[in-house]
A and B are shown apart, each in its own frame.
Chain A
Amino acid sequence: MHLHRFEKIWLMLGAGGLALFILLLCVNAFAMGMAPPSNMEMIDPKKVAETPPFDKPGLKQVGDKEYDAYMTAFAFGFSPTKMEVPVGSTVNFHVTSPDVIHGFQIPGTNVNFMVMPGHINSATYTFDKPGEYLIICNEYCGAGHQVMATTIIVK
């Protein structure tokens, strides 16, 4: 098969750039610990309300300025409804759903993941700036999807 010389150069540059790009993605994910949220824990969606720690959703302090937030996402809201942490806190969000699929997104941050019944998903974020951060559901979940939101206050 005949390849034009310019096409060879074009494709080689493209393939080289691509290889470099993929390498960087791998380094990012596996050497620098920035893999996408991929929690493998499971839970019975019909028993979320009686399975600790999701029976009592809320913030738990686990270290100096570090918190675990156990939350449920349901049609059409999040629990707990009020959360407050001091500036500079690191929060590990752990979220599950007792009904349909929801999303969990904090606009302006990189916290953005799917909440699926039967699974627990997680992400961590350090809130360095004070403010009232919006938490929204970004996966269609039914007629009230557009009101499904809460906030976390960072003081």
Chain B
Amino acid sequence: MVIARKVDTDRLPSTVARPAARLGLSYIWVAYIAFGLAAIAGMVQGMVRGGIMELPSWTNYYQILTAHGVLMALIFTTFFIVGFLLTGVARTTGGSLHKTALGWGWAGWILMVVGTLMAVVTILMNEASVLYTFYAPLKASPFFYIGAALLVVGSWFAGFAVFASYRKWKKENPGKISPLFVFMSVTTFVMWIIATLPVAVEVIFQLIPWSLGISPTINIMLSRTLFWFFGHPLVYFWLMPAYIAWYVCVPRIIGGHVFSDSLSRLAFILLLLFSIPVGFHHQLMEPGISAGWKMIHVTLTLIVVIPSLMTAFSMFAIFETTGRKKGGIGLFGWLKKLPWTDVRFFAPFVGMLFFIPGGAGGIINASNQINAVVHNTIWVTGHFHITVGAAVALTFFGVSFWLIPVLTGRTLTRTANRMGMVQTVFWAVGMFLMSFAMHTMGLSGAPRRTDYTTYMDHPTALGWMDYQRVMAFGGGLLFVAAILLILILVYLTFYAPKGYTEYPIGETEKEQQVPRLLERWPVWIGLVAFLIVMAYGYPIMEQIHHQAPGSPPFKTW
């Protein structure tokens, strides 16, 4: 097994210079602190719902659930993604970030940390038990919303750091096609900034004035539409960096090559186009949106099947060609040649396997009739734990196992690698059990976001109890895996032996022609704008012109 590869003849330095490394590490550790706290909350939720423990009177289920949702889905993911992409952009644009990029990067970090603290404190004070979707007219403390706004604006600054590096690289390399990692990072942040504009509008123009008492009522329908305008692309913001690791880093780790440069770029452009104009698929069971508009969004949603199939094909093409080159023969002999004991490959690979049922479940959720069977049941929670909680999270763990050593100038030792393998297995088994129970229970109607209850011992609800216990058991395994992960990462940050670790960036086997069109941003951003106006223009206009009487604020917890 090869963990630290020999320094190759790459012209590019395959590590990251100190200032950029320090920035990246700061993002990544905030991510894992949030992750650790959220893992405690997650385990407690499982135990409570499983009827295994009761919460003390100074807290309640929904406060803990809000903490878990916010810390996992918003803080852990966003901080990790920024840390990963910024360091990758540094690595592929000459090994460092220039002053402007570092400035944006640190400004973003500060805003995001302040925003996070504001949100966390209001949650701890029980002033914001509104869950991570903060649906009005539940009203949290204004500081919760201001914190959320700071988090979003901070992440834009991080995006500007990526754009600044991209511009600098362009200037230094006129006429050349950008490195694949940079292109994908730019696409991800273009998508993110467009997608977060509406939620910023919701927070700044609707929620903050209303929570401060400046405006007495709020337009509920509009606030939900703006939220889900952002809410679906949010999941692509989690997924695209995982795809970057799959498309660009994994091929290098297994000693292979990027399958097709242009197709990888095309997949990202398709994700950019079709992840935004689709939010109504989260509002299928709502009044006030016509069945026709729902169908339009469902259709646009399902187009994402195409880039997903492209990704699946590319991945297995990479695995097969690499396995065969290493002497694998026969229909499946190449599988044996893959580096199964290298956690840098194993963890993201297990993540990819989770994504197969995850994608199938997504098609079920997005279908406008079947959604009635699963909407707001714990099936949905099962779905996003196998997609973001397993596929994306395992990929991020796999990345962390080499990225942290790169950033600290240390090495992933054999033992740490083996511990990582154990951690991956625990996480995968835990997620499998928990999500399996959630999916099954959801199909028989068990609601999500609900404290322990038997609904006055109603037989239907009693029928869910065995699955609740399986869910709690899976949550326990996950918690063990989370502790193990944090221990490994602390080791890699402070104690692992000093040494050289490569930042794995794959390349194509031969020089490949890349159509220029793929890098014409005005074309793609124009198309995104066009699709958004088509999908949202009329419904949003209607929601403003023909709105229901507004809602005053409520604090029902």
In whole angstroms, how far apart are the Cα atoms of A2 and B460 in the complex? 55
In whole angstroms, how far apart are the Cα atoms of A142 and B60 in the complex? 11
Contact B449 A38 (CB under 8 A): no
Contact A99 B368 (CB under 8 A): no
- Besides A38-B291, A99-B554, 18 more A-B contacts (Cβ < 8 Å) are A2-B262, A4-B317, A14-B305, A14-B306, A29-B368, A40-B287, A43-B548, A99-B137, A101-B138, A112-B375, A113-B372, A117-B220, A122-B287, A136-B455, A142-B138, A145-B62, A146-B451, A151-B458
Contact B369 A37 (CB under 8 A): no
List of B residues within 8 angstroms of A46 by Cβ: 549, 552
Contact A22 B285 (CB under 8 A): no
1/0 contact trace for A84-110 toward B, CB 8 Å? 000000000000000111010111101
List of A residues within 8 angstroms of B515 by Cβ: 1
The smallest C-beta distance from B285 to any residue of chain A, in angstroms, reads 4
List of A residues within 8 angstroms of B309 by Cβ: 10-11, 14
List of B residues within 8 angstroms of A110 by Cβ: 372-373
Contact A145 B445 (CB under 8 A): no
The residue that B551 contacts in the complex, of A75, A103, A118, A134, with Cβ under 8 A, is A118
List of B residues within 8 angstroms of A49 by Cβ: none
1/0 contact trace for A144-155 toward B, CB 8 Å? 111101010000
Q: How large is the interface on B (under 10, 10 to 19, 20 to 34, 35 or more residues)?
A: 35 or more
1/0 contact trace for B279-313 toward A, CB 8 Å? 00001111111110011001100110110011001
CB of B131 within 8 A of chain A? yes
CB of B135 within 8 A of chain A? yes
Contact B291 A117 (CB under 8 A): no
Summed over the interface, the residue pairs from A and B with CB atoms below 8 Å come to a total of 220
Give residues in B with beta carbon < 8 Å to A. Answer: 60-62, 129, 131, 135, 137-138, 220-221, 260, 262-263, 266, 283-291, 294-295, 298-299, 302-303, 305-306, 309-310, 313, 317, 363, 367-369, 371-373, 375-377, 444-453, 455-456, 458, 460-461, 512-513, 515, 547-552, 554, 556-557
Contact A118 B549 (CB under 8 A): yes
CB of A50 within 8 A of chain B? no
Overall SS of chain B's interface: loop
In whole angstroms, how far apart are the Cα atoms of A41 and B299 in the complex? 25
The residue that B369 contacts in the complex, of A4, A7, A25, A118, with Cβ under 8 A, is A25
List of B residues within 8 angstroms of A101 by Cβ: 135, 137-138, 220
The residue that B263 contacts in the complex, of A3, A22, A113, with Cβ under 8 A, is A3
In whole angstroms, how far apart are the Cα atoms of A134 and B453 in the complex? 13
Contact B455 A134 (CB under 8 A): yes
List of B residues within 8 angstroms of A29 by Cβ: 291, 295, 368-369
Contact B287 A145 (CB under 8 A): no
The residue in chain A whose Cβ has the minimal distance to the Cβ of B265 is: A1
List of B residues within 8 angstroms of A15 by Cβ: 305-306
The residue that A118 contacts in the complex, of B60, B446, B550, B554, with Cβ under 8 A, is B550
Which A residues between 7 and 51 are near B, CB-CB below 8 angstroms? 7, 10-11, 14-15, 18, 21-22, 25-26, 28-30, 34-46
In whole angstroms, how far apart are the Cα atoms of A38 and B292 in the complex? 10
List of B residues within 8 angstroms of A137 by Cβ: 447
Contact A28 B131 (CB under 8 A): no
In whole angstroms, how far apart are the Cα atoms of A41 and B306 in the complex? 37
Contact A36 B556 (CB under 8 A): no
List of B residues within 8 angstroms of A139 by Cβ: 135, 376, 449
